[in-house]
Amino acid sequence: MFKYFEPSKIFSITSKAPKYVLFLFIIILSIGLTEALVLSPEDYKQSHSVRIMYVHVPAAWISLGVFSSMTLLSVIGYIFKIKNFFLISKSLAPSGLVFNIIALVTGSIWGKPTWGTWWAWDARITSMLILSLFFIIYLVAWRIYENNDKIFKVTTIITILGIINVPIIKYSVDWWNTLHQPASINILSKSSIHISMLFPLIIMTAAFALFSLLIFLMKYNTELIKIKNKGLDRL
């Protein structure tokens, strides 16, 4: 089954895909921005500041999803010795980090009109900050150990340690008394968010997911070409 993950097979798709993904991303983002900034209603309590949710929540979701995927890929890659999984994981990291930063910054901007402060050492916010440190440590490890066999072990350990933080982020609002509000959207039970706000949120999440895919494809292609450059040196 893993032969389908060979770089030569994947590259034939990833080299052509970015331009189509970019096109789709621009269309979905335009719809999402119109919905989020113009068409969606204001909140009865938070007024227009609720619109920050349309960038803050998708960014946090994508960031958590990316880190979870990186961990899964690193662990499977390490167990079954599939180097390409590490390359995929490495290519996912930049978009994960940027989405994490976006979630922190937009959360801070949203905090000022809602809580009256830019920052609080609240469980949800602090655990998100810790996740961004794991993204940074992961990317720095690739820089330090790039040409060393240790890299696979080191990055797998970093992702395993980091993944412990992911359920803490998710359940921090239930486990502790926090300034951050509890989840409004539940997959298994009824969501407390109205459809008029849920729709733009879904569209913006789709746009952000497409952007993450675009960056992943471009980064993966770059990494493969980098490897091939080294291969040409050895010829």
Partner 1 sequence: MINELLFMNGYGLYVWSAFSFTLFSFLVLFLIIKIQYTKEKSKFISKFGSLNSERAAIAKSQSINKTILSNTSNI
Binds partner 1 by CB under 8 A, chosen from 5, 11, 145, 199? 11
Residue 16 makes contact with partner 1 by CB under 8 A: yes
State which amino acid sits at residue 150.
K
Q: Is 131 left (phi over 0), alpha (psi -120 to 50) or beta?
A: alpha
Which residue among 163, 169, 197, 214 contacts partner 1 (CB under 8 A)?
Answer: 214
Under rule CB under 8 A, residue 38 binds partner 1: yes
Does 12 contact partner 1 by CB under 8 A?
yes
Kindly determine how many residues on this chain lie close enough to bind partner 1 according to the rule CB under 8 A.
49
Which residues inside 91-130 make contact with partner 1, applying CB under 8 A?
Answer: 94-95, 98, 101-102, 105-106, 109-110, 112-113
DSSP for 34-53 reads HIIIIISPPBTTTBGGGGGH
- Between CA 69 and CA 72 the distance in angstroms is 5
Q: Where does 44-183 have alpha helices with state H?
A: 53-80, 83-115, 123-145, 150-163, 165-175
Nearer to partner 1, 172 or 212 (CB): 212
- Report yes or no: 61 and 205 within 8 Å, Cβ to Cβ: yes
Among 35, 40, 52, 73, binds partner 1 (CB under 8 A): 52
Phi, psi for 121 (deg, rounded to 5):
-85, 60
Q: Which of 5, 22, 126, 199 binds partner 1 (CB under 8 A)?
A: 22
In 3D space, the residue among 181, 97, 173 whose CA is nearest the CA of residue 131 turns out to be: 97
- By CB under 8 A, name the binding residues for partner 1: 7-8, 11-12, 15-16, 18-19, 22, 33, 36-38, 42, 47-49, 51-52, 55-56, 59, 94-95, 98, 101-102, 105-106, 109-110, 112-113, 211, 214-215, 218-219, 221-222, 224-226, 228-229, 231-233, 235
